[in-house]
């Protein structure tokens, strides 16, 4: 079982990504999307990644969408953080993708979370956990044990927003710029006080969402 000493620090994480151009960091994992020439080629890539996973005894979350394969590596036995095993697995998957003629499109991999304002997270968390079939994650967040549904986190505040729910959409910093520009062009109110970590977006009816990047979620230096 991995220990905390195996978790990549911010410096080691940046060094790993420097030699993994196909990959991005996202909420405790390395993520990417590969576009294969055909759906059949995508299935061949999935099979290749599966063989690697068995050989490495390190299995990714993987999703197939026609000719695109979405992949996420994280180390569950290290508290859902990134370790050297994830970096090695990502590198091997990149090699397999190259052999399959697939091209990386990491900007397509976005992650969604639901945020809830509350004065007392403990009072409501169990309702949401049971109803969704989720489990408790780091820091009291709720996560889908199968990695399919959006995560849920509770923003403890003495003054909850009148609209207690908001959506966090996580993009990689490398791809966030065009998304912010297009969102601003819709006429939404853009609060950039916390950029580039996140930008609070409010629509014409007062509904909020946050466009987030990995800057607000990378491990701190030890």
Q: How many helices (H) and strands (E) does the chain have?
A: 5, 13
Q: Do 130 and 101 fall into the same domain?
A: no
Q: Do 210 and 119 fall into the same domain?
A: yes
Report the CATH number that the domain containing residue 95 is assigned in CATH.
Answer: 3.30.1360.20
DSSP notation for 70-139? EEEE-BGGGTSB-BHHHHHHHHHHHHHHHHTT-EE-GGG--EEEEEEEES-HHHHHHHHHHHHT-EE-GG
Q: Do 133 and 65 fall into the same domain?
A: no
Asked if residue 63 is part of any domain, the answer here is yes
Q: Do 178 and 93 fall into the same domain?
A: no
Asked if residue 210 is part of any domain, the answer here is yes
Residue whose pair of structure tokens reads 């990549």 in the numeric block: 8
Q: What is the dihedral of CA 61, 149, 43, 100, to 10 degrees?
A: -60
82: number of Cβ within 10 Å: 27
Burial 126-144 (b: 16+ CB within 10 A, else e): eeeeeeeebeebeeebbbe
Q: Do 85 and 130 fall into the same domain?
A: no
- Pick from 60, 86, 108: which residue ends a domain? 108
Instruction: Compute CA 131 distance to the chain's CA centroid, rounded to the nearest angstrom.
Output: 23
- For residue 61, the model assigns a pLDDT of 94
What is the tally of structural domains in the chain?
2
- For residue 54, the model assigns a pLDDT of 97
Distance, in Å, from the CA atom of 172 to the CA atom of 153, rounded to the nearest integer, reads 20
- For residue 221, the model assigns a pLDDT of 44
- For residue 5, the model assigns a pLDDT of 55
Q: Do 102 and 130 fall into the same domain?
A: no
Asked if residue 222 is part of any domain, the answer here is no
Q: Do 10 and 28 fall into the same domain?
A: yes
- For residue 219, the model assigns a pLDDT of 59
Distance, in Å, from the CA atom of 52 to the CA atom of 54, rounded to the nearest integer, reads 5
Asked if residue 221 is part of any domain, the answer here is no
- Pick from 108, 141, 157: which residue ends a domain? 108
Question: What are the Cα distances from residue 213, in Å, to 26, 98, 200, 220?
Answer: 8, 27, 12, 15
Q: Which residues of the chain have pLDDT under 50?
A: 1-3, 221-222
Q: What is the DSSP-derived secondary structure letter of residue 7?
A: B
Q: Do 65 and 136 fall into the same domain?
A: no
Question: What are the Cα distances from residue 5, in Å, to 15, 92, 138, 192, 220?
Answer: 17, 23, 17, 35, 13
Q: Do 138 and 75 fall into the same domain?
A: no
Q: Do 135 and 161 fall into the same domain?
A: yes
State which residues form the domain around 30: 4-108
Q: Do 103 and 40 fall into the same domain?
A: yes
- Pick from 74, 91, 108: which residue ends a domain? 108
Asked if residue 15 is part of any domain, the answer here is yes
Report the CATH number that the domain containing residue 197 is assigned in CATH.
Answer: 3.10.180.10
pTM of the model: 0.88
Q: Do 10 and 85 fall into the same domain?
A: yes
């Amino acid at each position: 079982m991995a220990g905390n000493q195996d978790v990549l620090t911010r410096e080691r994480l940046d060094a790993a990504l420097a030699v993994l151009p196909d990959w991005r960091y996202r909420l405790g994992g390395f993520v990417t999307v590969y576009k294969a020439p055909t759906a059949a080629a995508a299935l061949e890539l999935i099979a290749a990644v599966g063989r690697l996973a068995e050989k490495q005894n390190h299995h990714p979350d993987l999703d197939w969408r026609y000719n695109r394969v979405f992949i996420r590596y994280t180390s569950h036995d290290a508290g859902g953080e990134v370790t050297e095993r994830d970096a090695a697995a990502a590198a091997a998957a990149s090699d397999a993708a190259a052999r399959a003629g697939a091209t990386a499109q990491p900007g397509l991999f976005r992650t969604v979370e639901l945020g809830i304002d509350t004065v007392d997270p403990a009072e409501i968390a169990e309702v949401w956990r049971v109803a969704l079939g989720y489990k408790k994650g780091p820091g009291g967040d709720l996560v889908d044990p199968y990695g399919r549904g959006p995560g849920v986190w509770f923003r403890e505040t003495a003054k909850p927003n009148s609209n207690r729910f908001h959506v966090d959409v996580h993009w990689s910093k490398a791809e966030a710029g065009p998304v912010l520009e297009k969102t601003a062009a819709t006429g939404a109110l853009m609060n950039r006080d916390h950029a580039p970590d996140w930008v609070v977006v409010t629509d014409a009816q007062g509904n909020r969402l946050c466009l987030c990047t990995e800057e607000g979620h990378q491990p701190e230096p030890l």
